[in-house]
Amino acid sequence: MDQVQQFVLNPLKPYLAPITTNLPAPINDVVVGLLGERCHSAILLDLDVTSHPECVSLAVSKALGIAIISAASIVKVPQIIKLVKSRSAEGLSFTSYLLETASFVITLAYNVRNGFPFSTYGETSLIAIQDVVISVLILVYSNKTAQAGAFLAAVGSAVYALMVSDTLVNNTQMTSLQAGAGGLSIASKIPQILAIYRQGGTGQLSAFAVFNYLLGSLSRIYTTIQEVDDQLILYGFIAGFALNAVLAAQVLYYWNSPTTAGHGKELDNKKGLQGVGQKGNAALATEERKKLNAGSATTTARSSSSGGRRKV
């Protein structure tokens, strides 16, 4: 940090100070709200990263949190688009998304009830909404429309019980649920890992979502250590990162798999059509030969008949 201060910030102070000290009031208020008065003054007004190193760690954590929340707003949009375009849920595990949705709803309620900074958990609400959409699409494209309606009703009831009502679930029960949410988060990845392994391909699984998840879970380990003193949440992110790494490895391993998204079935169909075509060509060739032979026989017969008439 001393070298950054000496060789980067100090030479740039005459140019940066007029900008950082005259930020628009709304932006300035947001920064104060995120970093606090002391860190705001040290980093933005004084451009000093050496006197308060803890402020630098906090600023990095806040920046990562905002980046994760921003990325979470679109992290599963590619997956939704793939489902809608293909109208197929092949390669996707509904059980996996069901468990992940339950885990995120519980974690969101736990963070809200404990008053933790939104920058440390905000993405859970955005990803949970996208998980619900994907889960419904999986059921609909699997011809299970009634189950899709039941799933939506169950999610709505869970949100009401955990976040809207203050009496259905008390704080002690909420802590127990959060301990179980870590297990749900871990368990949610296992069905998807097994589905990919059994199929020998990733099907309609979005690689963008997988790798975004991997980076997000790694960043969340850092932000949780910096801003949230809660081992339940930290262990959940560590376990989630490990299993997200397995999923990412599967995506790379099966990248060019011929069985992805039912491609193997398409190949079988193509082979069958080729076989039919080959049989048809053989039949046509046989018929052509028969016609040629018949024509030759007729010509020979006519020649013999003409020769016989001349001799008479």
Encode pLDDT of 163-172 as tens digits: 888 778 888 8
pLDDT at 120: 81
Q: Is residue 311 part of a domain?
A: no
Tell me, yes or no, whether 172 and 40 share the same domain: no
Q: Report if residue 58 sits inside a domain.
A: no
195 and 228 in a single domain? The answer is yes
| pLDDT at residue number 259 | 57
95 and 9, same domain (yes or no): no
Residues 112 and 97 in one domain: yes
Q: How many domains does the chain have?
A: 3
Is residue 63 in a domain?
no
In-domain check, residue 308 = no
Answer yes or no: is 67 within a domain: no
* Separation CA 107–CA 109 (nearest Å): 5
Residue carrying structure tokens 């008479």: 312
Residues 114, 257: Cα–Cα separation, whole Å? 46
Q: Are residues 268 and 250 in the same domain?
A: no
Give 107-154 as a DSSP string: HHHHHHHHT--GGGTHHHHHHHHHHHHHHHHHHHHTT-HHHHHHHHHH
Q: What is the pTM of this model?
A: 0.66
Structural domain range at position 138: 75-257
Whether 227 and 103 share a structural domain: yes
pLDDT at 141: 93
Q: Please indicate, yes or no, whether residues 121 and 200 belong to a single structural domain of this protein.
A: yes
Looking at the fold, whether 122 and 247 belong to one and the same domain comes out as yes
Q: How far is CA 221 from the centre of its chain?
A: 19
- pLDDT value of position 291: 54
pLDDT of residue 243: 87
Domain-ending residue, one of 219, 242, 257:
257
In a domain, 90, yes or no: yes
Residues in the chain predicted with pLDDT less than 50, given as ranges, are 262-286, 298-312
- Is the torsion defined by CA of 239, 159, 129, 136 positive or negative? positive
pLDDT (tens digit, 9 = 90+) per residue, 24-61?
Answer: 888 888 888 888 888 988 888 888 888 888 888 888 88
165 in the same domain as 187: yes
Six-digit token string for 246:
């397995």
Give the three-state DSSP class for 310: helix
Specify if 180 maps to a domain: yes
- Do residues 164 and 289 share a domain? no
Domain boundary among 36, 51, 66: 51
pLDDT score at 63: 87
Residues 215 and 249 occupy one common structural domain? yes
Same domain assignment for residues 98 and 167: yes
Does residue 152 belong to any structural domain of this protein? Answer: yes
